[in-house]
Amino acid sequence: MQGMAEISIHRRIWADRLFKGLIILLSLCSIVPMFLILFLIVKNGISVIDWEFLTHLPKPIGETGGGIANAILGTLWLIVLSFVFSVPLGVFAGIYLSEYRGDKLAYLTRLAIEILQGIPSIVIGIIAYVWVVMPMGSFSALSGGVALGIMMLPVVVMATEETLKLIPDSLREASLALGVSFPRTIMKVILPAGLSGILSGILLGVARVAGETAPLLFTAFGSPFMNYNILKPINSLPLTIFNYATSPYPDWHTLAWGASFVLIAFVLGLNLITKSVTKKWKVQF
């Protein structure tokens, strides 16, 4: 009897150790792809990056060299457009949600945001096609901005709501007690207090949409030229990567690695900056 209990205790202890080891092993395995991806992109991409690559237009097949200046500019343009479409509306909707927490409409709005967040990006692309490209009759940077704006909207709303919820009521009450009107209290007291949180939400939203390809396939469409007109097709970094990576030409694959390096540096950089900024400026009450 005694012996059997001993054995089973040993077995249990070993099972415990084995399990812990397995968990650690599998957890470590799950981060391997991350390093493989980064390694491959840095290895193949960094040698492509030079001044010409960043500042020149792409060249036709057969000619070596050429750059991705139009894609970089296009991505920046699209970010500006999506910012315009999402931030004002998103911040106001976020204020609404934090001010009217118990409202029936607030509940439905919150539901709408959760649905919006889960919509596949390709579906958003189709919506922007139906709403903007079809009536206008052509692909355009504007339609791409609409698509990315819709994608960014839930991120901005949620960041605003979450941040404003953390601001203590005493701040608002102090302001109102001094005779400051409700609109001024919101705009001059509550919003500035939550600025860092909202800003980091916006940056995360930008990082999210900067890498999106699917919604741009039939909205911004891509273009080999420098384009400043928002009513014309425009290129973006992810589109460039997609087009070059799926082409049969090794020259273009090289360019795609370079473009991937630029994109990933931008997106991950933005993520890291946001995180450190949030930590530093975090609203503390």
What kind and span of H or E run contains 266? helix 250-281
Minimum CB distance to another protein, residue 86 (Å): 11
For residue 42, give the amino acid letter. V
Give the C-alpha separation, 262 to 257, whole Å: 9
Residue 51 vs 267, nearer CB to another protein: 267
Residue 73 vs 106, nearer CB to another protein: 106
C-alpha triplet 254, 255, 259: angle, nearest 5°: 120
Relative orientation angle of helices 69-99 and 195-210, to the nearest 10 degrees: 140
Give CA separation, 142 vs 139, 145, 214, 275, in Å: 8, 5, 16, 30
Minimum CB distance to another protein, residue 253 (Å): 8
Minimum CB distance to another protein, residue 234 (Å): 15
Residue 162 vs 228, nearer CB to another protein: 162
Minimum CB distance to another protein, residue 123 (Å): 5
Residue 51 vs 114, nearer CB to another protein: 114
Q: Are 92 and 190 in contact (CB under 8 A)?
A: no
